[in-house]
Structure 1
Amino acid sequence: MTSAVGSNYDRGSELKAFDDTKTGVKGLVDAGLSKVPSIFIHDQPITNKAHSSTTQTRVNIPVIDLNGTNVRNEIIENVRDACENWGFFQIINHGIPKRVLDEMIDGVLKFHEMETEEKIQYYSRDFRKRFFCVSNFHLFTDDAATWSDSFLSVMAPDCPQFEEMPSVCRDILIEYSNHVMRVGLTLLELFSKSLGLEPNHLKNLGCAEGLFLLGHYYPACPEPELTLGANCHTDAGFFTIILQDLLGGLQVLHQNDWVDVKPLSGALVVNVADLLQASLRYYEKFMSTIV
């Protein structure tokens, strides 16, 4: 869907004017905007009927139950298979209480729905900060902006000072992150074992030392057919644990088909991500040469 803009259209000025408000997409919605600004309109169609095939309704990413030491070998095999064939899987019985998951989602909402005067103090494009919010990390370089706002908090190895985090979500950010670090260690152990390595191999390489938390927010859009909440992308990190609400909306590309990730109450989505995927492929190739 292509936007019709005049020859005098100055995209750079519109991007800067939007960013200078420091209110993000939420600010546009609060202002009662009824049309999507040109900077958000994507040149390619948003929907693709080829990706809405019956295959999509039949295929779901793997769901792995982490409960039970008696089936540990089965869990390791399931993780190996999910990494090799999907790069994504959901985990259940991971040990994080549902209360914590619900409060984390609520904390993200509370931050993004704070009073404007209070929230804009956190708005920044200085990505060296340990806590900040922004609309579109790549606003000035992407072909089109996405209809989303985000906050980022570095939680390890150096967590923000207590006063650097907003009070509406501070406590749950800390509690949720502590739980996620423990789940992350479990996953690193499973990744290591799935490759035939010692359980602490990836941990000893320093793969458990860093953690940052992203809180994405997708306000209601007046013309959803013209824009996206998130562009097609891969994650460059070591691996990502995703908490999505029960409204869903997350899709993954599998064998050239977009597959909806069906939300499961209490589940977390694991994205193997680029760096870990490259590491796994390297070790798989290496191990095959010495067998």
Structure 2
Amino acid sequence: MDHIEPPFRETYKTLLHKSDGEEDEDENILMVEECDLPLIDLSQLNVERDKCIKQIAQAAREWGFFQVVNHGVSQEVLHILQDEQKKVFHLPFQKKIEDNFLNLSANSYRWGNSKATYLRQVPWSEALHLSLTDISRMDECKRLRSTIEAFVTVAASLAKSLAEILSQILDIKSTYFQENCPPNTSYLRMNRYPPCPFPSKAFGFMPHTDSSFLTLLYQDQVGGLQLMKDGKWFHVKPNPHALVINIGDLFQAFSNNGFKSIKHRVVSTQEVERFSVAYFYCPSNDAVIESSCNKPSLAPVPAAVYKQFSFREYQQQVRKDVEATGDKVGLSRFLL
């Protein structure tokens, strides 16, 4: 399958040479424990709603990650989506980098990191990062388009419901997400992680937090997703029936650090490829993110931790930092 692969070795030859002989950092992939993420049955919202909401809130506070079952996305849709995703990523690399690939907008197909200053900043992966407008134009792959649309329809509704549940705990205006997160402002990202010849030197995706309110993830059974908790890395065991939900930077700022946007990464594997699909629940560019303070359900704080900012300002700062350093800085840029 060499012809389908992005030219990682050739492009990052210098960084590969620099990494030779270096000892692994403290984030060595061997220093990982396995964890069972909180698993929440969303059907319980119809039976024991208060108990289920408490479970969601506790997971958002303590882990920043949780899994949900009975989420509304059928196994059939998930399986078809994975099959169609494989077909697209297994196209020749030269076709994937064409200007009008699948009739998508520029920079939809992504691989590597041209701003990387060392090998660990190079994601050994490729992705299709799609807006909803992109999806509607995918006439060349009609089965993929219809399956993505089926997935996004449920994911959008689920993300909005979870965001509204979390906002209730913060005593935030219940219509905030209805007013600030229309469907066309969120994104879908399909990921492929090729086998990596030196998995101890390059991540599938480097440690990061998500610039969203919430992220909904479906991963295959290969594994590789890891999250940091209490200064340790934990491996997230795949569950074929679950979606992984994680708190993004915007909700951490919104909750004044009550809910945690947790650093996570994808480790490389030497033998097999890995696939995942992520839905990023995002607001419009002009949406204002303002910290919620002194809510009874969160640890009391004397004042807001973060200054008020728009989503546009946040994205601009992230791009600026990546341009300058090859890496995202994130919420610390907006501390008061």
> Which category of TM-score, normalised to the shorter sequence, fits these structures?
0.7 to 0.9
Amino acid at match of 1:173: I
Partner of 2:109: 133
Rounded Cα–Cα distance in structure 2 between residues aligned with 1:163 and 1:98: 23
The answer to whether the aligner puts 1:45 opposite 2:24 as a matched pair is: yes
RCO (CA 8 Å, sep 6+): is it higher in 1 or 2? Answer: 1
The equivalent position to 1:269 in structure 2, one of 215, 224, 244, is 244
Rounded Cα–Cα distance in structure 1 between residues aligned with 2:90 and 2:172: 46
Partner of 1:279: 254
Partner of 1:232: 207
- SS at structure 2 position matched to 1:231: strand
Partner of 2:181: 207
Show structure 2 runs of 5+ residues with no match.
Answer: 257-290, 303-336
Rounded Cα–Cα distance in structure 1 between residues aligned with 2:111 and 2:211: 20
| Contact kept in structure 1, 2:68 and 2:245, CA below 8 Å | yes
Q: CA deviation at 1:163?
A: 4.3
Q: CA deviation at 1:274?
A: 0.6
Rounded Cα–Cα distance in structure 1 between residues aligned with 2:64 and 2:230: 11
| Contact kept in structure 1, 2:15 and 2:117, CA below 8 Å | no
- SS at structure 2 position matched to 1:107: helix
Amino acid at match of 1:93: N
Rounded Cα–Cα distance in structure 2 between residues aligned with 1:24 and 1:196: 53
Q: CA deviation at 1:249?
A: 0.6
**Greater strand proportion:** 2
Counterparts of 1:46-195 in structure 2, within 5 Å, are: 48=28, 51-52=31-32, 56-57=33-34, 59-68=35-44, 69-121=46-98, 129=105, 132-136=108-112, 138-144=113-119, 145-155=122-132, 158-163=133-138, 166-167=141-142, 169-195=144-170
| Contact kept in structure 2, 1:108 and 1:215, CA below 8 Å | yes
% identical equivalent positions: 24
Q: CA deviation at 1:246?
A: 1.0
Quickly say closer, same or farther: Cα 1:130–1:116, change in 2 above 3 A: closer
Quickly say closer, same or farther: Cα 1:205–1:222, change in 2 above 3 A: same
- SS at structure 2 position matched to 1:285: coil
| Contact kept in structure 2, 1:60 and 1:259, CA below 8 Å | no
Amino acid at match of 1:72: R
Deviates more, 1:165-174 or 1:105-114: 165-174
| Contact kept in structure 1, 2:212 and 2:251, CA below 8 Å | yes
Rg: which structure is higher?
Answer: 1
**TM-align CA RMSD:** 3.2
| Contact kept in structure 2, 1:130 and 1:153, CA below 8 Å | no
Rounded Cα–Cα distance in structure 2 between residues aligned with 1:123 and 1:256: 43
Show structure 1 runs of 5+ residues with no match.
Answer: 1-22
Rounded Cα–Cα distance in structure 2 between residues aligned with 1:244 and 1:26: 20
- SS at structure 2 position matched to 1:103: helix
- SS at structure 1 position matched to 2:204: coil
Partner of 2:316: none
- SS at structure 2 position matched to 1:258: strand
Amino acid at match of 1:224: P
Quickly say closer, same or farther: Cα 1:142–1:268, change in 2 above 3 A: farther
Amino acid at match of 2:28: N
Quickly say closer, same or farther: Cα 1:231–1:123, change in 2 above 3 A: farther
Partner of 1:252: 227
